Amino acid sequence: MNKVFGLVFLIGLACSIPEGEGQEISQGERFRVLGYLFVNDELEEEVNKIDWSSYTDINLAFVQPDSNGDFVESRGYKYLVENAHMNNVRAFISIGGGAPPEYLGDLMQPSHRSHWVQQIVKLVNNYGFDGVDVDLENALINEDYAPFVKELHQALKMSGKLMTAALASWNGDKISDEILGLYDFINIMSYDETGPWNLEIVGQHSPYEMAVNDIHYYHKERAVPKSKLLLGLPFYGYGFGSGVPASLRYKHILETFPNAYLQDSIVSKDGGVLYYNSPGLIGKKTALAKDLELAGVMVWHITADAEGPHSLLKAINDER
């Protein structure tokens, strides 16, 4: 999910913006908190650590096919879905990501598309997932993107399943209004404005102004109803210069710099700077999403959070 965003500038966002046209999915009684959970060999153990009282949706990232478009069975998938549903939480598979298998582009082409779509829906139905999160980025948003999304949407709807997307503002213009309208929810990747890959721009990779701009883009410029938007929140940081790692999860930031929760950046003794979102900034963004009546917020990613009073998830809960 982590790719370079272009520079954005603060745009005023009025709460009175009219809803866009098209079918809406009501956010219901709950302000939604979606968390991405990594697929790994310890999936069941990771599931047991989830704070089910805080999350309303879990996206399993990333569930990838083999080069033929087929999926390997996993006991962990069943375990996740069962635990999620026992706690009134929705569970999705997320496909793609920022570093997907190279052959995904081939599977989206006409000669392989229908088979892959069939296998995706089969996996979702077999394990009881609530839907699919389409996180296709960069070169995969190409001439095959729209036909793939249309076919997947039709197949999922026949099974009564949801389809969401992880999208940024920088790649939104590559996707038509028609395709955006097919998604039940859009998880806005409002982070990675800069990073270690772009040393000419040293600074906060996920500032508050970026959240304002991203919401403005998808709601006002693209007319996506607010009830379909979740604002992405980063549980990690990026370092620039000496004495700081290129990237670090929030829990490891606190382990290394115990007072890091007090601000949004840390200067190392060697002069390098680590930028991240503190509980204060996460809370401020959550309040923004709630005040604007968005569907909720999205967390990238669950296991990067710290435990205790300075948890970023706690900061979200304090504003819900």
What tens digit of pLDDT does each residue of 85-100 get? 999 999 999 999 999 9
% of the chain surpassing 90 pLDDT: 91
Walk across the sheet containing 247-249 and list its strands: 247-249, 236-240, 273-275, 265-267
* Domain 32-235+277-319 bears CATH identifier 3.20.20.80: yes
Statement: residue 304 has pLDDT above 70: yes
**pLDDT tens per residue across span 31-87:** 999 999 999 999 999 999 999 999 999 999 999 999 999 999 999 999 999 999 999
pLDDT in tens, 255-292: 999 999 999 999 999 999 999 999 999 999 999 999 99
User: pTM of the full predicted structure?
Assistant: 0.91
Closest CA to 282 of 208, 214, 186, 217: 208
Provide the residue ranges of all domains of the chain, joining segments of one domain with +. Answer: 32-235+277-319
